[in-house]
Amino acid sequence: MPDDNATLPGTDLGTDTGLLEAAAREAGRIALGYFDGSVKQWTKGDNSPVSEADLAVDRFLRTRLSGERPDYGWLSEESADTSERLARASVFVVDPIDGTRAFLRGADEWTISLAVVTEGRPTAAAVYCPRRDEMFLAAKGRGAWLGGTRLSTADRAGLGGARLAGPRKVTGHQAARSAGIEAAPVVPSLAYRIALVSAGRLDGAASTSGPSDWDLAGADLLVHEAGGRLSQLSGDPVLYNRDHPVHPPIAASGAPLHGALLSLLKTTLSDRSTADA
């Protein structure tokens, strides 16, 4: 648990969290300039959508963040990856628009997800939902916050009645129904899904395959600084800025629920359930 005396990370650009917050707000304004309009879009090699809005936000963020911290490396969903980042002690990890499908269909639940990762773990985070003007912030050792409210994960210890967001093949699985899970509506942005766990609005969240650094890093810090856990099925934390920035299934929840949630996720996967993020 973080220090109970920790205070809201400041918006001073001298802090990494303050820099991420300011950049995320401006990135949100850029993205909203394309929202509800005629946006050019196409499909990437992994069959996921991308739009001119994603690329515009990515360009802005790289200019802004790297301009302020030129010694930091760069890893973004919408930038070509290079091994150069592996030599940097700290790296910006960026998803310009997490939940592009939701963005393109005019829904609210997409985010700008930003993190600083230092020696494999996130140390600063901003996850911003522009349509709801919700700014989730965290700094290592200083808590997780939404506005002026310090966040805390739910303290539920059992699966019965727990609100879980994740692929329907998990939340609708017989094992989940038997355990009394309450399936929450699908949250398209994985970063937002996990941020809602940090705020206690969801008891748990899961992703069954293929989450990348940019999906997880910022939200990972939010959950841990709110007193919860995010881990692989083994219970090990996720390490970032590695050669291959893609991860196996993960679960996030309050600490008392985490073991039971991991067991449920293992059961659904052993039943050959396949993935949606």
Q: Which residues are annotated as a binding site for Mg(2+)?
A: 77, 95, 97-98, 215
- Tell me the β-bridge partners of 231: 251
Annotated binding site: 77, 95, 97-98, 215
Chain mean position to CA 154: 18
Q: Which two tokens stand for residue 69?
A: 């911290």
Burial 134-160 (b: 16+ CB within 10 A, else e): bbbbbbbebbbbbeeebbbbbebeebe
Other Cβ atoms closer than 10 A to 118: 18
Question: Which of 136, 140, 139 has the alpha carbon at shortest distance from 126?
Answer: 136
Distances (CA, A) of 240 to 26, 63, 221: 25, 22, 12
